[in-house]
Amino acid sequence: MFKKFLFFLCLAPLVSCAQREGNYVRDNYIKIDTTIIMRDGVKLYTIIYVPKDNTRTYPILMERTPYSAGPYSENNYKMRIGPNSNLMHDKYIFVYQDVRGRYMSEGHNKEVTPYISDKKSNKDVDESSDTYDTVDWLVKNIKGNDGKVGIYGISYPGFYSTASLPGAHPAIKAVSPQAPVTDEFIGDDANHNGAFFLLDNFSFMNYFGKERSGPVKDYGGVMFPLKTNDVYDFFMKLGPVKNSQSEEYFNHRSYIWNQYLEHDTYDHYWQSRNIRPYLKDIKIPTLVVGGWFDAEDLFGSLHTFQAIDRQGGSNDFLVMGPWTHGAWASGSWTKFGSYDFGNNTSKYFQDSIETRFFNYYLKGEGSFDNNKATVFETGKNEWSQFKTWPPANTHPVNYYLTSSKSLSPVKERKQKAFLSYVSDPSNPVPYTGKVMGRRNNEYMAEDQSFASSRKDVLSFSSAELKNDLTIAGPLQAELYVSLNTTDADFIVKIIDEVPLPSNDVADKNAAGSGFYQRLVRAEVFRGKFRNDYTKPEPFIPGKIDKVHINLNDVFHEFKKGHRIMVQVQSSWFPLVDMNPQKFMKIPEANASDFQKAEIKIYTDKSHPSSITLPVMN
C-alpha cells in the first residue's frame, strides 16, 4: 500500500516543476478556506482556488481526499493545483475537500464508506451524498463558476471520484477515477482473493489508521516507531498477525486495523464497501486510469471500468499505462525496473488524454475522440487504442503444466502425474530477491530467478517462441492440488523469460538459465476460499481439489526467442501474511498453529493444471 508515500514520491518531479513556476498559484488564484454543511449537519472543510481573472466563468475541478486538503489558512497556498500543470494554466476553479472524518472535516471516517442506495432520511449519508451536497453548494455560492463540475483523484481520492457517479448531481459533467480503491477483499489493498497483504497494510495503517478526537490539521505522526532495514526479517520475528495488536504496535488503537483482522471472510463489512454493483447506467463521461505496475489498485482500475462499461455505461474510457501507483501524475516516467519505454509516458497521458478529456467535457474546447481503451503494450513499448477492452480480436489459449516442468500447449497423457514441494512457514518464499526496509516497488517486474532456484517453487517453461506472441486481457490459472494439511495459499506467476547475451556470462541470473525471468503478472489465492469467499472450506488431506485463480489483465508482447514461464508457490512473504496451513481464523493463529505442508500440483490427463492466456489474433 504505502499510498501516501508512493503517491508523493512519484509527484516529486512535479513539485520541483512547481517551484520553478514560482508564485503562479498565488499570482493567479484567490484562495478561500471554508466549511460546507452536509445534509446531516456535519461540516466538511473545503479549500477553493478561484482564478483572479473574473472576465469569464469557469468550470469547477474537485478532489475529495483523506490525505489533507491543506495547506490550511487563506494565506497558505499550494505550489501546484489541479491534476496537472496544463489544467492549472488553462484556468479552472479548483476545489479540495477533506472527506468526512479526516483532517479538518467533522464526522467519522469509515475508510471506504459503504454506498447507501435507498436513502430514507438526511441521516443516511455516504460519499455520494457528501459529493452531491458539496457540488450543490459550490455551484450556488462560488462566484464565477459556469455550473459544470469535474471530479478526479488517485487511490482513495479515486474511490471518492467513483462514489460521485451513483446518484450524481446534475452539474457533474466529467469524472476521472484514477487507481480507485474498489473491492478490498477480492483485489485491492487489504486482501487479494482473501489473502491479507501484510507488508503494505502494516506500514500504511501505522499513520493512516491513527484515530483523532476531532478535526486536526496534523495527526501528529505515526502510532509507533518503525525502522527496519529488512522487512522480511522484521515480520518473521513479529510472528503471527495477532502479534500486531501488542502494546508495541497497534494495540487495538486503530479502528481500520481492528476491522481488517476481525473480518477475515467476504462478509457484509467487505461486500458493503464494493461500490461496483451501483455503477449502473452511468452516462457521465468517465475516464478510468490505472498502471500495469500498480501494486495497490491495479484491480480497482480494471474492475471499476469493467463495472461501468458492462452495466450500461455509454461514455466511459480506460487508460492503462506502464505506471506504478499514481506515476502518471509525475513529471517524467520513461523507465521502470528493466523496462525502458522510450518516451515520457506520463507527459503523454497528461497532455494528450487527461487535459483533453477535462477541457472538452467541461469547457467544450478541442475534441476527445479516443477509443474506449488506450493501453500501453509492455514488451513492445507502444500505445494502442481499442474499441473494447479486452480487445475483440483475442482468443483463449491454454498452456499446460507438465511433470517434466515444461509449459506445453498439449495436455500430458499420463494417467497420474504430479510435482510436489514442501511449504514451510519458518522459511517462506520472499516476494522479492532484494533485502529492503520497505516494499520493493519494482517487484511486479523483477527477475524471478531468486524464486526459481528454491525447492518450494515449481517453474514451468515453454519452448522458445518461434514468433512474437501478444496477450491482452485477464489471465486465468486452474490448479489441481492436494495437501496433507487443511489449508494453503497458491501464488501463480506469469513470467517473460528474456534471453541474456550469450557472450556475457556475468549477466546470467542466479538460476544460471541464461534468461532474465521478468515478472509479467502474479496473483495469490487463499485456498480455503476456492469455492466461496463467504464460506471458507478446509481441504481434505490427500483429496485432489481444483483451485481457480483469476489474474489481473495484461497487455504484453513475448518476443520471438523468449520463453513463457509459469511459477507456482505457496508463500509470498511478507507481502502476504503467512498462512498457517491449518484451516482456521488466521488473525487468531498462534505460533504453534503454523505447520509445514506437502503440496502436490497435478499435471496428468484427468487433472490438467493449466494457465489460460488471451492471445491476440
Note the pLDDT tens digit of each residue in 214-264. Answer: 999 999 999 999 989 999 999 999 999 999 999 999 999 999 999 999 999
Q: What is the pLDDT of residue 211?
A: 94
Edge-first strand listing for the sheet containing 563-569 = 458-461, 563-569, 489-499, 515-526
pLDDT value at 509 more than 60:
no
Cα–Cα distance for residue pair 525/111, rounded to 1 Å: 24
pLDDT value at 407 more than 80:
yes
Please report which confidence band the pLDDT of residue 501 belongs to, taking 50, 70 and 90 as the band edges.
confident
Range scoring the smallest mean pLDDT among 5-14, 187-196, 309-318, 464-473: 5-14
pLDDT value at 546 more than 70:
yes
Mean local confidence (pLDDT), 1-12? 43
pLDDT value at 482 more than 80:
yes
Range scoring the smallest mean pLDDT among 2-16, 23-37, 540-554: 2-16
Question: Per-residue pLDDT tens for 408-420?
Answer: 999 999 999 999 9
For residues 305, 310, 316, 318, the Cα torsion angle rounded to the nearest 10 degrees is: 40
What's the whole-number average pLDDT of the chain?
A: 95
Mean local confidence (pLDDT), 131-149? 98
Instruction: Give the global pTM.
Output: 0.95
Written as nine digits, the cell of 551 is 489474474
Q: What's the Cα-to-Cα distance from 274 to each of 7, 118, 550, rounded to whole Å? A: 23, 16, 18
For the chain, give the number of residues: 617
Cα–Cα distance for residue pair 140/129, rounded to 1 Å: 17
Could you tell me the residue ranges of all domains in the chain?
3-183+273-386, 394-616
Mean local confidence (pLDDT), 268-283? 98
Q: What are phi and psi of 267, to 5 degrees?
A: -90, -170
Instruction: Say whether domain 3-183+273-386 belongs to CATH 3.40.50.1820.
Output: yes
Question: Per-residue pLDDT tens for 370-399?
Answer: 999 999 999 999 999 999 999 999 999 999
Written as nine digits, the cell of 263 is 473480518
Mean local confidence (pLDDT), 469-479? 98
CATH of span 394-616: 2.60.120.260
Q: What residues contact residue 56 under an 8 Å CB cut-off, 6+ apart?
A: none
